[in-house]
């Protein structure tokens, strides 16, 4: 169990005064029973928002709905939170279903609630079926028996074959392009892996969150730090349920990962939705600080 102090700061500078309008922010860590507990969380904007209210979206993520005044030169969005994160026994026994049995488990599950795996089987705008990825995934999981083994095998294969390149892609780069060029950031790694898992019939979700900055002594520094992070959640049958895997760092998630929310793809969980994302005449940056309290 670790207690974190978490600060996220997103800054925008506009070349022309901007009518920033209405945005949706998905940046708050989420309380997950037994895994994550949010003690406090505060979101502010500078300048002050005209309207600020929050709601919980379908998948359980807290969304801040913000209306900003027109004529902005600068904008700062800041989120501060204190979170207790419990370690999930990542190395524990593999309780996952045999791959051949997964469809049976799924068929027996009549559920449309937010945690239901059924939402995460179907193609979306950003994660369409890609035959090349499906073929790659089929090869990567050859010889695996359980769903968990398949998840790990595909994640490790992607980690080995794809290079991390923060400049190579944008949030709009299609997964087929980053897969063909074998590079990308955590978002590309995750969405490619999700596409592969779904092609194998394994329900897979996109996870948006934070990754701890400072590595514990003696451990290698994790890539994707100092930024918001993304990884994958896969459903392994009724008994095991969901597990989370980070393909950028080829590991099951640990106490270093803090979850914001889940979605079918990036669009469902994007930190910022609205004009700020598509306005061309702006410079933007963000920084994340995670300190152990």
Partner 1 sequence: MANHGLGQYRPLPGVKDEMMTNEGAIRPLWKRLMTRLESLSADDMARDIARADQYLMNSGVFYRQYGDGQSLERPWPLSHIPVLIEEAEWAKLSEGLMQRADLLEKLMADFYGPNDLVQSGRLPTSLIAGNSEWQRPMVGVQPRSGHYLHFIAFELGRGPNGQWWVLSDRTQAPSGAGFALENRVATSRMYADIYSAENVHRLAGFFGGFRDALMALRQDRNGRVAVMTPGPLNETYYEQAYIARYLGVSLVQGEDLAVSGGQLMMRTVSGLRPVEVLWRRLDSNYADPLELDHKSRIGTPGMVSALRAGSLTMVNALGSGLLETRALMAFLPSLAKDLLGERLAIPNIATWWCGDAAARQAVLNAPGRMVLNPALASGLPFDPATPHVNAGNMPPEELARLLAELGPTLVAQEAVTLSTTPTLIDGAIVPRPMALRVFLARTPMGWQVMPGGYARIGATPDPAAIAMQRGGSAADVWVVSPRKVSDVTLVAPASQPLRRAEPGALPSRSAENLFWLGRYVERSEGVLRLLRAYNIRLAETGNAESPLLRALTPLFEWHGIDPSKGIPNGLLVNLDAAIGSAGRVRDRFSPDAWSALTDLDKTARRMATRVTPGDDAARALSKLLRKLAGISGLMHENMYRFMGWRFMTIGRLHERATGMAQTLSILTQPDAPDGLLDLAIEVGDSTLTHRRRFTVTTSRETVLDLLALDPLNPRSIRHQIDQLREQVDRLPAANTQGDLSPLARAVLRIYADLAVSEPRDLTPERLTDLRNRIASLSTNLSEAYLQ
Residues that bind partner 1 (CB under 8 A): 21-24, 51, 53, 55, 57-59, 65, 67, 109-113, 116, 118-119, 121-122, 125, 267, 273-275
Q: Which of 251, 156, 149 is nearest to 200 (CA)?
A: 149
Q: Which is nearer to partner 1, 80 or 118 (CB)?
A: 118
Place of tokens 């901007």: 18
Pairing state of beta strands 72-85 and 2-18?
Answer: antiparallel
Closest CB 22 distance from partner 1, rounded Å: 5
Closest CB 56 distance from partner 1, rounded Å: 9
Cα–Cα distance, 224 to 230 (Å, whole number) = 9
Q: Which is nearer to partner 1, 2 or 267 (CB)?
A: 267
Contact by Cβ (8 Å): 273, 20: no
274: left (phi over 0), alpha (psi -120 to 50) or beta: left
Closest CB 55 distance from partner 1, rounded Å: 7
In degrees and rounded to multiples of 5, residue 174 shows phi and psi of -65, 145
Q: Which is nearer to partner 1, 88 or 264 (CB)?
A: 264
Q: Which is nearer to partner 1, 125 or 142 (CB)?
A: 125
Q: Which is nearer to partner 1, 65 or 156 (CB)?
A: 65
Instruction: Strands of the chain (E only): list them.
Output: 2-18, 21-25, 36-46, 51-56, 62-68, 72-85, 163-164, 183-184, 204-211, 228-235, 242-246, 251-252, 257-263, 272-274, 282-292
Closest CB 206 distance from partner 1, rounded Å: 14
Closest CB 89 distance from partner 1, rounded Å: 30
């Amino acid at each position: 169990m670790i207690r974190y102090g978490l600060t996220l700061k997103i800054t925008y500078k506009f070349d022309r005064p901007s009518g920033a309008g209405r945005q949706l922010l998905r940046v708050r860590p989420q309380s997950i029973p037994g895994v994550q507990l949010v003690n406090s969380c505060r979101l502010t904007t500078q300048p002050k928002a005209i309207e600020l209210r929050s709601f919980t979206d379908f998948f359980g993520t807290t969304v801040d709905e913000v209306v900003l005044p027109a004529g902005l030169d600068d904008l700062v969005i800041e989120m501060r939170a204190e979170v207790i994160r419990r370690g999930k026994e990542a190395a524990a026994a593999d309780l996952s279903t045999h791959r051949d049995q997964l469809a049976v488990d799924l068929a027996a599950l009549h559920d449309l609630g937010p945690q239901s795996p059924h939402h995460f089987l179907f193609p979306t705008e950003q994660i369409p079926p890609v035959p090349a990825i499906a073929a790659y995934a089929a090869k990567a999981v050859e010889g695996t028996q359980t769903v968990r083994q398949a998840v790990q095998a595909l994640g490790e294969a992607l980690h080995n074959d794809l290079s991390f390149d923060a400049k190579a892609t944008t949030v709009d780069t299609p997964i087929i392009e980053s897969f063909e060029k074998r590079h990308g950031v955590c978002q590309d790694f995750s969405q490619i892996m999700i596409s592969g898992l779904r092609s194998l019939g394994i329900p897979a979700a996109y996870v948006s969150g934070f990754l701890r900055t400072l590595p514990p002594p003696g451990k290698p520094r994790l890539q994707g730090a100092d930024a918001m992070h993304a990884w994958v959640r896969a459903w392994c049958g009724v008994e095991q349920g969901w597990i989370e895997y980070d393909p950028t760092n080829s590991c099951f998630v640990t106490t270093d990962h803090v979850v914001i929310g889940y979605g079918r793809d990036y669009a469902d969980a994007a930190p910022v939705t609205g004009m700020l994302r598509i306005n061309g005449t702006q410079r933007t940056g963000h920084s994340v600080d995670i300190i152990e309290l």
